[in-house]
């Protein structure tokens, strides 16, 4: 059962401190969520990522929060893969393949002292996730792949 409403804050963190505790209504919920952040020396909130969870949204977001709060980006091994979002916007960090999420959220922590996860929709479909990510130009959203990779895989299999 899902007791969340669109716009509900799931968790909010400022400078390493939890401002709004984890919303317990998230346990067992499914749907689309968005991550917002405010960069150092900025005032405006920006959409950073969007995700869809068919079940256990709580575990997915708690994992992301743990990476954000507890992994020191400077102590990670130097990555070899350049992070490319779905919009082909450049970014300056490298990650190790198969370890994308820990690197991503540790990196976000170096740039965004404020983050907030928000519930978007109970419709747990990739189409809703994609539409929301496009409408809000989510900075780190990848639609499952970096820009151009899925298209290249299709061409190779033809």
Whether the CB-CB separation of 115 and 35 falls below 8 Å is answered with: yes
Up-side HSE of residue 36: CA atoms within 13 Å toward CB? 18
**Average pLDDT in the 52-81 region?**
93
Q: What is the C-alpha separation between 44 and 79, in angstroms, rounded?
A: 30
User: In percent, how much of the chain has pLDDT > 70?
Assistant: 90
Q: What is the C-alpha separation between 13 and 36, in angstroms, rounded?
A: 11
Grade residue 84 by pLDDT with cuts at 50, 70 and 90.
confident
Whether the CB-CB separation of 61 and 11 falls below 8 Å is answered with: yes
pLDDT in tens, 92-128: 789 998 898 999 999 999 999 999 999 999 998 999 9
Domain parsing of the chain, residue ranges:
9-157
Q: What is the C-alpha separation between 64 and 100, in angstroms, rounded?
A: 11
Looking at 113-157, list the stretches that DSSP marks H as alpha helix, in order from N- to C-terminal side.
126-135, 149-157
């Amino acid at each position: 059962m899902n007791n969340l409403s669109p716009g509900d804050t799931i968790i909010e963190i400022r400078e390493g401190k939890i401002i709004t505790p984890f919303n317990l209504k998230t346990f067992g919920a499914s749907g689309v969520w968005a991550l917002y952040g405010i960069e150092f020396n900025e005032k405006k909130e920006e959409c950073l990522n969007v995700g869809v969870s068919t079940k256990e949204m709580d575990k997915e977001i708690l994992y992301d929060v743990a990476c954000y709060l507890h992994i020191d980006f400077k102590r990670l091994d130097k990555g070899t893969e350049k992070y490319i979002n779905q919009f082909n916007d450049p970014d300056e960090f490298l990650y190790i393949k198969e370890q994308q999420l820990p690197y991503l959220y540790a990196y976000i922590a170096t740039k965004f002292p404020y983050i907030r996860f928000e519930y978007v929709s109970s419709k747990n479909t990739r189409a809703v996730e994609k539409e929301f990510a496009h409408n809000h130009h989510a900075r780190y959203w990848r639609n499952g792949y970096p820009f151009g990779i899925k298209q290249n895989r299709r061409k190779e299999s033809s």
